[in-house]
A and B are shown apart, each in its own frame.
Chain A
Amino acid sequence: MGAATAALAADPVKVGFVYVGPVNDGGWSQHHHEAAMKLKEHFGDAIELVEQESVPEGPDAERVMTQMALTGADIIFATSFGYMDQVEAVAGKFPNVKFEHATGYKSGPNFANYSARFYEGRAVMGTIAGMMTESNKIGYLASFPIPEVIRGINSSYIHAKKVNPDVEIRVVWLNTWYDPAKEADATQALVEQGVDVVLAHTDSTAPLATLEKSGGYGFGQAADMAQYAPKPRLSSIIDEWAPYYEERVQAVMDGTWETAATWSGIKDGMVGIGEFSDAMPEEVKAKATEVMNAIVDGSYHPFTGPLNKQDGTPWLAEGEVADDGALAGMSFYVEGVTGEIPN
């Protein structure tokens, strides 16, 4: 590799990153940015990094990626679900540029997608939430009605229910990834309704800041958010993108890059589980560790039957495991979750 890097040093590989939020949001975008920084550290002068933050999902993203491609980017990482159609459009226009899209499901010859099995992390968080709630009401701040978010809600609920048959889940849809004031208001609304553990699927630390003020527990989302430990932050789902980025950029350098649909979980290190806080009793830590270990060693899949859909129709029979196709397109709640999914 040394020789190859040296040979390429004169003409560095140009790597583009597009973020949906600011790079210091404390969550999703910041973690992608930090992974990009690790990438730069790893490759040094062999790569040139171009980053664009706070790019809205929609036509603006197409403009930004076109600009990157025109200015010589070799590979572009588009790090939000809502960039999917724009990536597809730009990838069609620049067949020699490699595109990598996070958390989507489309792909093409020069257009790969990658995501993490966050629902595995949600299974661990759901277990903790189910055991920690005293009111038997847990809350979920949902962003957009896409399969990734719906999987997170279902996985959280299924595992909270397993350890606490009386648990209810309240879902609040915000229609945004990033609006700290709205996230704070929604968290407050959940607390007012008697919810005492809140899982967030938005990008800022506002839910934890609110819980710190009003009481209740929450989790770090996308980043560790350890500054809110031991209370209200109990644990966290951490996105570990750096190894994937290093692998893919290396493939571009070696000329071995191929389109792929990567979906890795806790086992491969793409989903990290943050340290359990001391606010959790030993039995909760033990149970959460047990669930996590079972997922890692493959003896347990978070979506294992018997499971019914919300309307009571059977989905998975006893012992049956959901296949990746069904998970990738999940558009329904499992039985027990109340409310409707907006379209």
Chain B
Amino acid sequence: MDISLINLVPLLMAASTPILLAGLGELVVEKSGVLNLGVEGMMIVGAITGFMAAVATGSPTLGFLGGALGGAAMALIFGLLTQGLMSNQVATGLALTLFGLGLSALLGQGFVGLKPPATPKLPVPGLSELPVIGPMLFRHDLMVYLSLAAVAAVWAFLRYSRPGLILRAVGENHAAAHALGYKVTRIRIYAILFGGAMAGLGGAYLSLVRVPQWTEGMTAGAGWIALALVVFAAWRPVPLLVGAYLFGGITVLQLNMQAAGVNVPVELLSMSPYVVTILVLVAMSAAGAAAGAPGSLGRAFHASR
């Protein structure tokens, strides 16, 4: 068996980045008290709009921007329906996923079989030359670093900043936040747009880096895993990172173990990412100060009530 961490860790980080980005976006959305089940739909739309932008401009950076915009546009639909028209969030989110799968298939008609411009690796000067650590952690593409920076940023924003505090207040008790004079609907729309952009980025990472090509339905459930990670991480960014890397890591590890010819039953290997992720996150939330769901999660808000 010749599986080394040096080979495994970079693959793990690449495999986890889409669910990490999408999960982080959804975490902020849920912290503001909105449940958006349309992550899968926003991801797949981000995957195709990002792919289209990258192919049209030849620039992967503009591609990722296109993915973020595509995801945010989808989120805007959700925001207008649930915040403006006060539709049911669960039903609207599910509809958004179905709509996204269909829309992306339509948009992608002319893009099947094309190759996107390559996303360059950005080795960190100096650090990437370190033995062992260098090839593992510091020779990635920009998005991997950005996703890690985003975890830190979201954590700091929610924990230490005043807007973060307001966002949490809106999520915990929208009536009280409203009474204090905060614009509940507007704040939630911002959060929803952020969530959509992050899901779109995650989708674009799939179509531009991880596969890299456009194929219909290519997210294949990644959005649902991102949603589940938010709950398992108890709405906290750092456990979310752990969960995403764990899930991605075990997925990559089991494929590598099969490829290396390790004699472990395949059934065990296939279910291991799900089992281990659930076990570890359950243990984490049992041990830590269990932060529950935001108090107003999924409830519609209108200033008159």
A residues adjacent to B (C-beta < 8 A)? 21-22, 24-26, 54, 139, 168, 170-173, 175-176, 178-182, 184-186, 188-190, 192-195, 204-206, 209-210, 212-213, 227, 338-340, 342-343
Q: Are B115 and A172 in contact (CB under 8 A)?
A: no
Closest CB-CB distance, B100 to chain A, in whole Å? 14
Q: Does B175 contact A (CB under 8 A)?
A: no
Q: With a CB–CB cut-off of 8 A, which chain A residues contact B105? A: 22, 24
In the complex the two chains form, what is the Cα distance from A288 to B206 in whole Å? 36
In the complex the two chains form, what is the Cα distance from A185 to B261 in whole Å? 16
Q: Are B266 and A173 in contact (CB under 8 A)?
A: yes
Q: Does B11 contact A (CB under 8 A)?
A: yes
Q: Are A188 and B11 in contact (CB under 8 A)?
A: yes
- 30 residue pairs from A and B, CB less than 8 Å apart: A22-B215, A26-B215, A171-B258, A173-B258, A173-B270, A176-B220, A178-B217, A181-B18, A181-B206, A181-B219, A182-B255, A184-B211, A185-B11, A185-B252, A185-B255, A186-B255, A188-B11, A189-B11, A189-B259, A192-B11, A193-B2, A195-B259, A205-B113, A206-B211, A206-B213, A209-B211, A209-B213, A338-B263, A339-B263, A340-B263
Contact indicator per residue, chain B 131-147, by CB within 8 Å of chain A (1) or not (0) = 00000000000000000
Q: Besides A22-B215, A26-B112, A181-B211, 7 other CB < 8 A contacts?
A: A24-B105, A179-B220, A184-B210, A189-B11, A204-B215, A206-B211, A339-B263
Q: Are B113 and A342 in contact (CB under 8 A)?
A: no
A180 and B258 in contact, given A22-B105, A24-B112 (Cβ under 8 angstroms)? no
The residue among A22, A54, A190 with the most chain B CB atoms within 10 A of its own CB is: A22
Q: Are B266 and A340 in contact (CB under 8 A)?
A: yes
Chain A, residue nearest B255 (CB): A189
Q: Does B216 contact A (CB under 8 A)?
A: yes
> How many A-B residue contacts, CB cutoff 8 Å?
115
Contact residue among A54, A170, A192, A205 (Cβ-Cβ distance under 8 Å from B7) = A192
A185 and B251 in contact, given A173-B270, A180-B211, A204-B215 (Cβ under 8 angstroms)? yes
Contact residue among B108, B112, B113, B210 (Cβ-Cβ distance under 8 Å from A181) = B210
Q: With a CB–CB cut-off of 8 A, which chain A residues contact B261? A: 168, 170, 193, 338-339
Q: Are B210 and A189 in contact (CB under 8 A)?
A: no
Q: With a CB–CB cut-off of 8 A, which chain B residues contact A170? A: 258-261
In the complex the two chains form, what is the Cα distance from A340 to B15 in whole Å? 26
In the complex, the 6 A-B pairs of residues with the closest C-beta atoms, listed nearest first: A22-B216, A342-B266, A189-B255, A189-B259, A172-B258, A193-B259
Contact residue among A26, A139, A212 (Cβ-Cβ distance under 8 Å from B113) = A26
Contact residue among A182, A193, A209, A213 (Cβ-Cβ distance under 8 Å from B260) = A193
Closest CB-CB distance, A235 to chain B, in whole Å? 18
In the complex the two chains form, what is the Cα distance from A172 to B266 in whole Å? 9
Chain A, residue nearest B213 (CB): A209
Q: Does B242 contact A (CB under 8 A)?
A: no
Q: With a CB–CB cut-off of 8 A, which chain B residues contact A206? A: 211, 213, 215
Closest CB-CB distance, B74 to chain A, in whole Å? 20
Interface residues of B in 18-63 (CB under 8 A from A): 18
Q: Are A209 and B115 in contact (CB under 8 A)?
A: yes
Closest CB-CB distance, A307 to chain B, in whole Å? 21
Interface residues of B in 163-210 (CB under 8 A from A): 206, 210
Closest CB-CB distance, B203 to chain A, in whole Å? 11
Chain A, residue nearest B118 (CB): A213
Q: Are A180 and B109 in contact (CB under 8 A)?
A: no
In the complex the two chains form, what is the Cα distance from A33 to B115 in whole Å? 23
Q: Does B128 contact A (CB under 8 A)?
A: no
Q: With a CB–CB cut-off of 8 A, which chain B residues contact A171? A: 258
Q: Are B256 and A25 in contact (CB under 8 A)?
A: no
In the complex the two chains form, what is the Cα distance from A21 to B113 in whole Å? 16
Q: With a CB–CB cut-off of 8 A, which chain A residues contact B3? A: 193
Q: With a CB–CB cut-off of 8 A, which chain A residues contact B259? A: 139, 170, 172, 186, 189-190, 192-193, 195
Q: Does B222 contact A (CB under 8 A)?
A: yes
Chain B, residue nearest A212 (CB): B115
Chain A, residue nearest B207 (CB): A180
In the complex the two chains form, what is the Cα distance from A184 to B258 in whole Å? 14
In the complex the two chains form, what is the Cα distance from A168 to B2 in whole Å? 15
Q: Are A175 and B270 in contact (CB under 8 A)?
A: yes
Chain A, residue nearest B108 (CB): A24
Closest CB-CB distance, A79 to chain B, in whole Å? 16
In the complex the two chains form, what is the Cα distance from A141 to B97 in whole Å? 29
Contact residue among B15, B118, B206, B258 (Cβ-Cβ distance under 8 Å from A339) = B258
In the complex the two chains form, what is the Cα distance from A182 to B259 in whole Å? 13
In the complex the two chains form, what is the Cα distance from A24 to B107 in whole Å? 13
In the complex the two chains form, what is the Cα distance from A132 to B113 in whole Å? 25
Closest CB-CB distance, A225 to chain B, in whole Å? 9
Closest CB-CB distance, B96 to chain A, in whole Å? 18
In the complex the two chains form, what is the Cα distance from A111 to B267 in whole Å? 33
Closest CB-CB distance, A200 to chain B, in whole Å? 13
Q: With a CB–CB cut-off of 8 A, which chain A residues contact B266? A: 173, 339-340, 342
A342 and B255 in contact, given A170-B260, A181-B211 (Cβ under 8 angstroms)? no
Q: With a CB–CB cut-off of 8 A, which chain B residues contact A213? A: 118, 212
Closest CB-CB distance, A206 to chain B, in whole Å? 5
